[in-house]
Chain A
Amino acid sequence: MSHIHLPDGVIPVFWWIIGYLLTAAMLGLAISRTKSTEARRKVPLLGIIAAVMLIGQSIPLGFIPFHLGLAVLAGIILGPWLGFMAAFISNMFLALIGHGGITVVGLNTVVVGSEVIIGYLLYNILRRVTVRPVLPVVLATALTLIVTIAFMVGVVAIAQVNPVLVLTGEGAGAIRDSVVVDSPVAISLRRFVAIIVPIAAIGIAIEAFVTGLIVRFILGVRPEIVGAPARER
C-alpha cells in the first residue's frame, strides 16, 4: 500500500466534485488521444492490466498491512493514457467493495492516475541515462510515489479550505482563518503527515523493490512488454 484510499465522508462535497470533474477531463483526454481503432484493439490489454492491479492490491505481503499498487508498472506497460483509464477502473472496483469511498473515486483516481503518468514519464527519462534496465524502474517508482504521496497530502490539505473563499478570490490569510477546526471533518495536517510519512516510507521501499523484481523477471522472459529491446534479455 503506497497510498491511502480516501474514505467517504472526510472530504467536503465541493472537492470530491472537483475530483470527479478532473478525472472526467483526464478520461476524456485519454480517450481522445487514443485512436478509436487502437482503443478497440487495446480494450483486452487495458481490462487485463486493471485486473492485475486489482490482484496486486488483493494480496497482503505477509503479516504487515501492505499491498502492491502497481500503478507505475501499469503506466510503463500501457502508457499514460490507457494507464490512467486502468487506474480509474481499479479504483471503481475497489470502491464497490468499500476499499476507498465511492464519492472520492475521482480524487483517488487523480492521485493514482498521476502515479501512472509521472511514473511513465520518469521511467522514459531515466532509462535513457542508465544502461542497467531495472534501476530506472526502481528509481521511477520511488520518486513517483514520493511525489504522489505529497500530492495526496496536498489534496487532504486543500479539502480543509472553504471553497467559497477560493471561488471569490480571497487572500491566503482569509482562507487560512476560514478552516473550521470544530468540524468532524477538519484534519490537523501536521498530525496527518506524522502518521502518513512512516507508513508511506515503508510502502515506497516495498513497492519500488518489488516493482524492480517484477520488471527483472519480465525482462528475462518477455522484454518487449516493458518496451525493452531484445538485447536486454
Chain B
Amino acid sequence: MDIAFIDNLAYNRDSVMHRAPALSKVIMVALVIAAVVISTEAVVFVIALALLLMTFLISNLPVLRILPFAGYALVFSLVFAVSSTGGGIAPIVVMLKAVTAAVSMLLLITTTPYPQIFALGRKIFPTILIDAMLVTYRSFFILMEQVGRVIIALRMRGGYSPLRVAGNLNIMGKVVGHGFIHAWELSENMQNAMLIRGYRGGMPVSAARKYSIKYSLLPVLLGATVLVAAVFA
C-alpha cells in the first residue's frame, strides 16, 4: 500500500537527500510551493519538475514507481483544468502547478520518515495532535497488515473481483466493519498500555539515522533555484 511503500523508501534508502535534516527538506518544499503560488509560467514548472526528477535519480529512488503517486494531483487538477476559463495553455499550467507541488512533497516524504516530519510539527501543533499522528502512523501498518491478509483470503476464495462492483461493495462493508472493530479493540489495548507506562502527553521521537547540517545545502539550493526561476521568469 502507498504509505508502507513510501515509508520503506524513506527508512531503507541512503543518499545525500536522505541524510539531509528534515527541516532543510521542509524549507525546500516551502520554496517550491511559493514558486507554484506566484508563477503562472509553464516553463518555471518544467524547470522545477526537471530539477526534482534529477534529485529523485541522485537520491537512489525508483522514479517510475514514485511518479504515479503524482497522478492523484493530476486527476484532481484535471477537474479544475477542464473548468478553467483561461485560454491557451492555462489548463496545462493548472495541472503543472498541482503536479510540481505534489512531486516536491513526494521528494520530501520518500527521503524523510513521517515521524521526523511530525517531530518538526511539535513546534506548531498541540501535543494531542502530534501524538495522535504518531499513533495513526504506527497503527496504519498494523491495520494494513490485517486488511491485507483479509483481502488475500477473499481473493483466494473468489470473494473479490474487479468487475463485480455490487458484490465488492458488500464485501468491502464487512471488511471495513471488521477493520473498525479490530481498530476499536487495538485502541483499548494501546490506551491501557499507555496508561500503565505513565503517558501524560508527548510521545518521544528518535531519529533513525544521523542527520548532518552539511547535507542541508542541496535541498535548500533546489528550492531556492525554483523560486528564483519563478520570480524572474
Q: Which residues of A contact B (CB under 8 A)?
A: 4-10, 13, 27, 31, 34, 36, 39-52, 54-56, 58-59, 61-65, 68, 70, 73, 77, 85-86, 88-90, 92-93, 95-103, 181-189, 191-192, 195-196, 206, 209-210, 212-218, 221-222, 225
Contacts and interface: CB of A to CB of B under 8 A. Distances in A.
Given A85-B128, A96-B109, A184-B40, A45 B187 contact: yes
A34 B127 CA distance: 13
Contacts of B85: 181-182, 186-188
B28 interface: no
Contacts of A209: 169, 173
A182 B126 CA distance: 41
A101 B29 CA distance: 12
Residue picked from A58, A64, A92, A185, most chain B C-beta under 10 Å:
A185
Given A8-B101, A61-B172, A196 B79 contact: yes
Given A44-B191, A98-B70, A213-B170, A54 B140 contact: yes
Contact of B86 (A51, A181, A195): A181
A43 B98 contact: no
Kindly state the interface size class of chain B when it binds its partner.
Answer: 35 or more
Contacts of B29: 102
B144 A62 contact: no
Given A89-B133, A188-B84, A40 B201 contact: yes
Interface of B: 1-3, 6, 29, 33, 36-37, 40, 69-70, 72-73, 75-77, 79-80, 82-87, 90-91, 93-94, 97-98, 100-103, 105-106, 108-109, 114, 117, 126, 128-129, 131-140, 143-144, 147, 161-165, 168-170, 172-174, 176-181, 183-184, 186-188, 190-191, 194-195, 199-201
B79 A192 contact: yes
Given A58-B2, A192-B83, 7 more contacts: A9-B100, A47-B136, A55-B143, A85-B129, A97-B6, A102-B105, A185-B86
A217 B150 CA distance: 15
Nearest to A65: B75
Contacts of A54: 3, 136, 140
Nearest to B83: A192
A74 B202 CA distance: 24
B164 A8 contact: no
Given A44-B191, A182-B87, A183-B86, A39 B169 contact: no
Nearest to A182: B86
A7 B80 contact: yes
A49 B179 CA distance: 10
Contacts of A9: 36-37, 77, 94, 97-98, 100-101
B101 A206 contact: no
A51 B183 contact: yes
Given A7-B77, A184-B93, A98 B69 contact: yes
Given A9-B36, A98-B70, A209-B169, A89 B136 contact: yes
B101 A56 contact: no
B128 A62 contact: no
A38 B98 CA distance: 39
Contacts of B37: 8-9, 13, 103
A218 B177 contact: yes
B181 A210 contact: no
Contact of B169 (A43, A63, A213): A213
A88 B118 CA distance: 14
Contacts of B91: 184
Given A52-B183, A192-B79, A31 B201 contact: no
A97 B79 contact: no
B86 A48 contact: no
